[in-house]
Every structure is written in structure tokens, then in C-alpha cells.
Structure 1
């Protein structure tokens, strides 16, 4: 039986208000709908200041969001006069749970720019604090996302009735070196470069390596382990298939 998925943290819904201290505004047009994605400085509505008696009509004004998230409620009707400080929208703020090179994968917000604007704030901008791939340190996810991915992996293994087998490459299944002896037999040796200008590598497979992997793969989910780069691991894995 599969384990039930755990519920994530409660969504944080905040209010976006009409600027305080300004004159009342008449709501002319909504630029977003409930469910729409907002970034910082996204236009929410177009309004016009209510002129005092005897004044000419003032220029229209755009009300913008000061946070990223999803619109949950629009608070007002077209033509309505909005008092300074009144709530114009309720937004479920993005917690930026997945970040790659400073960009949120959920809302697209550039968190480096957001950090520069809010450098003094104490609360963290993103909940992404867990590194998922050792060779891509720029990819970060929240602890909730990491736990969810772990549960999904566990559930998949239960469905497939398999355990994970960590397979070490170097000095176990293979031996790789930059040194090449001209008198060495090429039988079972794979020659390759990881990139232009990189040294030529020579990899020898352990005898009966492929037969072993084909048999063991029916019983386990195989994971390759190496202290080498990700490209190196992918290259060797492609050779073993």
C-alpha cells in the first residue's frame, strides 16, 4: 500500500493595498484575474485619482504588485472608489521553492534583483535551501520539495518491488586513466574525451561487467556513483548500456 502524500506548508496569503496618503482612486480596469501569476511590479489595475471639486481630471495611474505570487481574490468592482490604504487584492505569495541560478522556477522572479532591493530584510526571500545535484550547486529546492521527491522515489520503488543498488564505477566496475601504453591491447578499452581540449581518457571495463549489470538490473534500481564529473558518469553509463 502506498503511503499517503504529506500535506505541504500552509499557503501564505497576503493583502496588496492601495497606497496610503494618496487621494481616493476610481477603479477603471483590472489587468489580472484570480489565478493569474504575479511578479514584482506586475500591473494589477488601472485607476484614476478622484479629482477634487473644480480640478481637472488627473492622469490614470497603474497599481502594481510589490510581491510575486498568485492572485486569489480581487477586492473591488469597476467604477468603485477605493480609499487610500484599502485592500485591492489578496495574493498567495510565492515561496520560491525551486531556484536555478537565482531564478525562481515557479514564478520566474529574478531573486538576485529582489535581494538587492530588499537587502536589509531579515526574512529569507526563498525557501529553497537544499542542493539536489552535486555538480549543479545553482539548483536549490525547499526542504518540502526535497521530502516530496524522496517520498515519490520511495513509492516508485515500492510499486516496482525493488531496492536501490549504488554501483561504484572507478576501481570497481571500470578503471580509467590518462596514461596509454602503445603495447596495451585495445580489447575492452574505451577511448574518449569529455570536451575539446580535454585529455584523452582510457577506460577498461571489468570482465563480464555488462553481463553482471544486465542480471542485477532486474532485481535492483541501479544508481551510478563516482567522484568524477556528471559528464564523466553519463559517458561511462552510456558505454555500459
Structure 2
């Protein structure tokens, strides 16, 4: 794991744990026994068109409703997508957390008295938004964009195919992306939520080889199996929670656009991208994880000198 602000070498986590149980079974037709059923859509194999009751594989509903890939199909798809991204577009893959990485949100009902004046500023400011989620009850949030987030996404998009990954619900996350990426320029349909990954975050759900994926998240604990891909960013907190000690409005102090968390992470991402494509070695010999370790080692040495 690479920490942008606090340099620390941390061991990689425990052995890989799947977030979903493997599904075993066979197709309903003996004529399809020779088919690997690599790609299944709504229970029907796209290859042999037989009904597949149960499969050993993984669901990718976030990309296409009802889509399920066998483990062989996942590996092959990851490989081909990575080759295409690297060779044709000169892009790596970037997995971005939302809360406390790109934004900070708070329920309006839990907003402190000293911050309630911000509700009126949403009509005048481009970094403050009110969002409403309709469920059993109407929930209203106040959303603050992290300084430099729009510039960060624009520049990162030139170097990476980006994926949003959050432990929030899909309804909540889609409302956030309506603000961050209303035209789906940056993330497209690449949004993974607690609906697909309820207990931890995993690159098993990201269709790209791990050697070409960088993660940016403020919480390393949710990436048990992928800390070596992780760049830890400082958590972004803007709002005060409801607290009687803070009852008077006070001027907010925000982090720097040019020297804040996202600006510093972008510098690192540029370094990783440059290092990966610097020489024309065989693609299979390149690995962002080795680059992150090398950069961290060099920075630590510089710090200690």
C-alpha cells in the first residue's frame, strides 16, 4: 500500500477471500455439456443458448443486469481489456472510492447548527449540492465536493479507465455520480457498490488485470487482499455532525486545491503512468504494484536522508 501523506510500508493482507460463494452446477441439457458456459445472461448461456441453472462463476450485474461470467471468462476478459487499454489507449485502470476520497456528505438532519447556513449556499456555490433519495422515507443529504475533484477526474481520465467503488448503496452512489459525472464521461457504468460487495472491496469485480490497476481510497481496511495496489489518500471531512458545542456559524477552512489530497495523489498517478509506459517492454513484464513499491521506497529513502 502506498500512503501519500504518511509513508509506511505495510504487509500485504491475508489470502484472497471471495465475497460471494462459488456456485456449482451444470446446464439443464446434456447437449451443452461440452460448452464452458463462460458468459451467461439471465440464466441462458450466450454460447450454446442452453438454460444454465447454476454455475461456478461470478455475477457482474453492475455492468449488465443478469450477467454472469465463469472464472475462466473473468480471467480472459481481464487480460484482453488490459491489453486493449494499455496497447491501444495507453491507459491503466483506476479504482476510486467516493466518500471521504472525492466527496463528503452528511444527512441534513444530522447537520450541526453551525453548518446549517451552508444549505442556503448551495444555490450560489458549485461545490455544494443538496441531493434527495427516495426510499421508505425521503432522505436529504448535503454534499461537498473535495477541492480539485473536477480537475482531478479530467486529468486522471487521460491516463486511466476509471471505476467508482463504494460501500454505499447503489441509489446513493448513483446520486453522487449524477453530480460528479452527469454525462458518464469518466465512469460510464463502472460503479460497484455494497449491493455487489457488501463486506469488503475486491478487485475480483474489476475487469482488468491487477498488475494494471491502482486503487485510491482513504480506508485501507476494506482492501484486505489488495493493499499492494492501494494508494491511501487522507480522508476528506468538511461538515460537522450535530453537536451542541458548535451552535454558532463559523467560517469553514477547506483544503488546498493545489496541495490537497487529490492534487498530491494526481502527482503520484502521473508518476506511475509515466513509469509504466516509459519503456517498450513486453506488457506482461510490467506491474503497477512494483512501481508503487519502488516509488514508496525512493520517497522513504529521500525522507530519511
TM-score by length of 2: 0.39
Greater helix share, 1 or 2? 2
Query: Larger relative CO (CA 8 A, sep 6+): 1 or 2?
Result: 2
